Structure 1
Amino acid sequence: MATTNLSNVIPVTERPTSGTKSLKSSYSKNLEQHSILRPGAIENLIEGILILSDQRELIYANDTARRVLRQLNQYRSPANLVPIEIWHVCQSLIQSRSLFPNQRWQMESEILTDDFTTLNIRARWLRLETIQHPCILITVDDRYQVIENIAIEEAQKYGLTSREQEVWLLHRANYPYKKIASELCITPNTVKKHMKSIYAKQKDICGIDN
């Protein structure tokens, strides 16, 4: 069962709107008008993007978010239901608005899934001009995926070999040397040699002394 750790409640300044206009009929037009939410710009983002109503209605999910929904709902039906783990974060956001109507809040949480993937969840109010109902913008990212992307970028920057890149990725994910050795079927001494080479290349490029 996934677990949720709610943290980092952050106030922001916009105020939500309310009304009765149909969410889904207005959404497409709004998406085109909102500069950070154009379909072409967000559909293939590594970060998952969800837009919900304050009634738990799923308005939009990009490809990454849909994969997260399937992952969290694999033993539930229907598969596209907003998972209770994510809705719990939204409920905290909704409650904060009722307690502090003149402020807007962002909620951050971590969800540990059944396969031990750590998902970072952020929820905040989203104002869309032609939708009067309150909307919630949720971003979801896989912490390991973020680390992997950073490690790959660093590996390219430092000019690492394929094996050094594998070692660096696991090192950036906080694997100890023995665990790295086990994962890559090499000895701990070989891991140390690779890390020594990586640090030398890092120092040459960035001037960082480890």
Structure 2
Amino acid sequence: SFGQRVTGSGTAVLENVHVDLGSVVPHHRGFERPNTVRSVGQIIYAGVDLGIARAAFRETLDLVRDAAAAKGSGMERASEDALTTARVGEVAIRLEAATALIEHAGRKVDTAQVDPTEEHAVEASLSVTAAKVLAAEAALEAANALFDLAGSASAKVALNLDRYWRNSRAHALQDPVRWKHHLVGNYHLKGVKPRSGLL
């Protein structure tokens, strides 16, 4: 794809690995009771999004500190511009919120793994879903802000800064956020629980 060119996802084939028959659970049977399988996968996805966002933000800070101010702003350096400073603050706050939400969701997943009740699985799923949504949005926002604030010089191919946008955009396609809002709203408005505590 145009993003995540070095992604490690794919198929793993194991040969000559001993697995006790009692340890094998057919895939469909794994979801017959409350569990955190998808919550764990989702929180990893949220972590990937947050990592992309943080890296894009670091690049933004480095570039904005060294950039000349936009023509007509009356400033010498981009970092002196109040609008640029406020935009950097917006992205920083979004990253802090995503970080806190991922940590909170992680605690909910831990609880659901120790005590795998339906209630705990649903709570974990809803918290992880919120974290995933916020982290994905933060990654796209940070990638866009990088170009907005660093200016046309940031579009040079040699800098390869487009990788942040490509990676965040491609990663968001693997698990679309647009359905997350519906699923969470459906739970709160109508009491429809995520299937097997999963979103």
Q: Give the TM-score of the pair, scaled to structure 2.
A: 0.25
Normalized per residue, the structure richer in strand is: 1
Higher relative contact order by CA 8 Å / sep ≥ 6: 1 or 2?
Answer: 2
Normalized per residue, the structure richer in helix is: 2
Q: Give the TM-score of the pair, scaled to structure 1.
A: 0.24
